Amino acid sequence: MRADRSMARIVRVDGAFGEGGGQIVRSSVAIAAVCGVATEIVNIRARRPNPGLQAQHLTAVRAAAALCGAELEGDRLGSERLLFAPRHAVAAGRYAFDVAEARAGGSAGSAPLVLQTVALPLLLARGRSNVVVEGGTHLPASPCFDYLERVWAPALCALGLKVGLVLESYGFYPRGGGRIRAELEGNGPPRSLERLHSGALSTVEVRAIAASLPAHIPQRMADRARSLLAKEGIAAAVEPRRVRAASPGAVTFVAACYEGGYGGFTGFGAPGKPSEQVAEEAVTLFRAHRQSGAALDRWLADQILLPLAFARGSSRFTTDCATAHLRTQAELLRLFGLAAVRIDSEEKTVAVKVEPAEGEA
């Protein structure tokens, strides 16, 4: 990997461009850690109701800094400017991060998003790493743990990157308190990816999870998901789960495995929201993706771009939607000089091609 570790070059990122949220911060510091390039991010989340770094973003920044000894400026809650300057190559090892430590009174910020920030740098480093992240594990606007386990990790493994995940405790809003353990091991640069069609549907798995709620909640979600999928001619493996957590919460997660792709679809509970509606939301997302014939779901599409930028050779895949996150991730890769990403809308799918810059792998 490239290792320009001087302050002679500073990549400047406008945190308000594209989707304008925390993804820009997390991806920028992950890339900076891998490449050893100083990075300045301004206008962080400037258009959000609560602009600047929040607890989850701050934890991700400090976690990435711990991997490469980065010097930080602006690493505080509410800061709209951050300077991240790596001092050495990313070191594999044992790490532990807790989102609650970033804010007095704690936080349920997303543990999966923090884990994803440090995963790529550690997977591209020499050696095996053990990472523990505490925080929220099942939150809206974030991949839940089940998505990481059933979609994200298998996709990385297909690239030759070893990812093992264990959920040690659940964490829902507002108290969080969840705990994820990850074993990470790279084996050289990632393999390139060629996934243009989903192909035949192999399996569908449903997890109907309710934390600190009556037993009928997960059962109702499970029954509704099973019924809707049966109408599609799908005999899914459906599991209602009643678990313990510091805060109550409910999730229905649908994992789909195809001959040529992956998909994960989540419905989140909320006070006053019928259990059946939670299941319906997850199944509706699955149905839309299946009808498109795309190989990867819209969330994996942007999450897979970073590892593909470091792969040997170009990659091509299809997804069901060109999200703002996908386009933002593509622009970040261009800005850092890592890869050119072409995104073309077709009749039912979106075709994505990733061309790593010469010398990056």
Q: Is the dihedral of CA 254, 250, 324, 180 positive or negative?
A: negative
Using an 8 Å Cβ cutoff, are 60 and 117 in contact? yes
| Tokens 């949220």 belong to residue | 21
Q: Which string of b and e fits 45-68 if b means at least 16 CB within 10 Å?
A: beeeeebbbbbbbbbbbbbbbbbb
Calculate the alpha carbon distances from 343 to 179, 301, 318, 354 in Å.
36, 11, 9, 9
pLDDT score of 243: 98
Nearest to 251 by CA among 330, 128, 146: 146
| Whole-number pLDDT of residue 8 | 59
C-beta atoms surrounding 291 within 10 Å? 10
φ, ψ at 248 (rounded to 5°)? -70, 155
Q: How far apart are CA 330 and CA 318, in angstroms?
A: 15
pLDDT of the residue at 110? 98
User: Closest Cα to residue 277, out of 286, 285, 266, 267?
Assistant: 267
* Separation between Cα atoms, residue 136 and residue 174, nearest integer Å: 8
Report the predicted TM-score, pTM, of the whole model to 2 decimal places. Answer: 0.95
Q: What is the pLDDT of residue 5?
A: 45
Distance, CA of 204 to CA of 120 (rounded, Å)? 28
Check if the beta carbon of residue 317 is closer than 8 Å to that of residue 350. no
Among residues 57, 138, 289, 325, the one annotated as catalytic is 325
Which pLDDT value is given to residue 359? 53
* pLDDT (tens digit per residue) in 145-182: 999 999 999 999 999 999 999 999 999 999 999 999 99
pLDDT < 50 positions in the chain: 1-6, 360-361
Q: Furthest-apart CA pair in the chain: how many Å?
A: 61
pLDDT score for 149: 98
Q: Give, in degrees to the nearest 5, the angle at Cα 116 between 115 and 122.
A: 80
List strands edge to edge, sheet with 162-169. Answer: 94-98, 128-135, 178-185, 162-169
Q: Please list, in sequence order, all residues whose beta carbon lies within 8 angstroms of the beta carbon of residue 307, skipping any fewer than 6 positions away.
A: 120, 123, 156, 159, 161, 190
Please name each of the domains of the chain with its CATH number.
Answer: 10-188 (3.65.10.20), 198-292 (3.30.360.20), 306-361 (no CATH)
Token representation of residue 61: 């920044």
Sheet holding 262-268, edge to edge: 237-243, 201-211, 249-258, 262-268
In the annotation, is 289 catalytic? no
Q: How far apart are CA 283 and CA 107, in angstroms?
A: 30
